[in-house]
Amino acid sequence: MSTNEETPQYTKKDFMSEQTIRWCPGCGDYSILSQVQQVLSELGRPRHEFAVVSGIGCSSRFPYYMGTYGFHTIHGRAPAVATGLKLSNPALSVWVATGDGDALSIGGNHFIHLLRRNVDVQVLMFNNRIYGLTKGQYSPTSEAGKKTKSSPMGSVDHPFTPCALALGADGTFVARTADIFVKEQRDVLRAAYGHKGTAFVEIWQNCSIFNDGAFKDFTDRKARDEKVVFVEHGKPLLFGSKDAPKGLVMTPRIELEVIDVRGPEDEARVLVHDETNTVLGTLLARLKEPIAMGVLHRSSRPVYEEGVHAQIAQARARPGAADLKKTIFGNNTWKITG
């Protein structure tokens, strides 16, 4: 008789809650929710081993619609709550659902420090380049000149490039995908789950009410072949049609340049994607056209919670370290008398 235990089988339905989904018709959040539920069901883990943490915004309704544990916290502070959750229960798989405004405006400081510390959580940043919940103000990722209710003459702000910001904060996993790219989105989510450390995934998400078609120049079926390069570790950075393939090469100025691939000599010049190369990842993150989709960078370094728990174990092993009263009322106290 076999002694191997069968891996539990779950379905997408196991990760769906009974809550009525309250996003606008046509919102890209529906696709993201569906892909996350599908991917989590494939991992062979029961839903009580997952927790989703969010801040404030349309994206932050996410925990209500997941059949897992969850916290709907305050604006921009989801990384802080997720850090505390992971520290208190490192066995949990902790996911953060946030938006471009929630993460990069009021939550910008929490966001960069989460990446710097390398807490073992997955961060899904829904980027629709607008404040949707508060009815259409420009956000930290809105393009310059964007006319909105809060910038009727056009925004004069320079926008963030989220993936470049994450790399600048020493993120160990940085990826980009889009709500409409279902297969590629699932591949990125699986890769993020498998990463040990903070996995940051920027997801281009259409807001059908306040910023409809923000990414259509890249995601439209007629445009994506020419304007999107899907990157894969160890594979050439090729895109375009079969009849007119193109590739990315490195210039002497350490910049990426597009060439037409007409034969073997051109093919030999095309860069091969290396996830461990931070410089290449940064160049891909900042590339305007084609837009790079997939895992741009992946590296390894110690995770925050393991370092914290190692210190706790060291402290407990010291003589007298468990005496809380002695710790509080040690020599560094004094009394004030009348």
Give residue 322's pLDDT band: very low, low, confident or very high (50, 70, 90): low
Burial of 155-175, coded b for 16+ CB within 10 Å and e otherwise, reads: bebebbbbbbbbbebebbbbb
| Residue in the structure block whose two tokens are 């995934």 | 201
CA distances from 50 to 92, 154, 192, 235 (A): 6, 42, 14, 33
Express as a percent the part of the chain with pLDDT over 90. 89
Q: What is the pLDDT, as a whole number, of residue 238?
A: 98
- Select the more confidently predicted residue: 324 or 43: 43
H or E segment and range at residue 230:
strand 228-230
- Select the more confidently predicted residue: 105 or 6: 105
Q: What is the pLDDT, as a whole number, of residue 139?
A: 96
Write the pLDDT tens digit of every residue in 254-294: 999 999 999 999 999 999 999 999 999 999 999 999 999 99
Give residue 2's pLDDT band: very low, low, confident or very high (50, 70, 90): very low
- Separation of alpha carbons 290 and 14, rounded Å: 38
Q: What is the pLDDT, as a whole number, of residue 3?
A: 46
Mean per-residue pLDDT for 29-56?
A: 97
Give residue 328's pLDDT band: very low, low, confident or very high (50, 70, 90): confident
| Domain range annotation of the chain | 12-214+301-305
Write the pLDDT tens digit of every residue in 133-183: 999 999 999 999 999 999 999 999 999 999 999 999 999 999 999 999 999
Burial class for 142, CB neighbours closer than 10 Å (0-12, 13-18, 19+): buried
- Separation of alpha carbons 58 and 68, rounded Å: 19
In 3D space, the residue among 78, 129, 135, 79 whose CA is nearest the CA of residue 100 turns out to be 129
pLDDT of 41 > 60? The answer is: yes
Mean per-residue pLDDT for 209-226?
A: 95
Burial of 243-261, coded b for 16+ CB within 10 Å and e otherwise, reads: eebbbbbbeeeeebebeeb
Give helix 108-117 / helix 78-88 axis angle, nearest 10°.
30
Which pTM value belongs to this model? 0.93
The whole-angstrom distance between residue 57's C-alpha and the CA centroid of its chain comes to 16
pLDDT of 313 > 60? The answer is: yes
Give residue 318's pLDDT band: very low, low, confident or very high (50, 70, 90): confident
CA distances from 178 to 64, 128, 167, 274, 318 (A): 22, 10, 19, 21, 51
CB distance 97 to 124 below 8 Å:
yes
- Separation of alpha carbons 309 and 220, rounded Å: 47
- Separation of alpha carbons 42 and 35, rounded Å: 11
Q: What is the pLDDT, as a whole number, of residue 185?
A: 98
The mean of the pLDDT values for the chain is 94
Q: Note the CATH architecture for domain 12-214+301-305.
A: 3-Layer(aba) Sandwich (3.40)
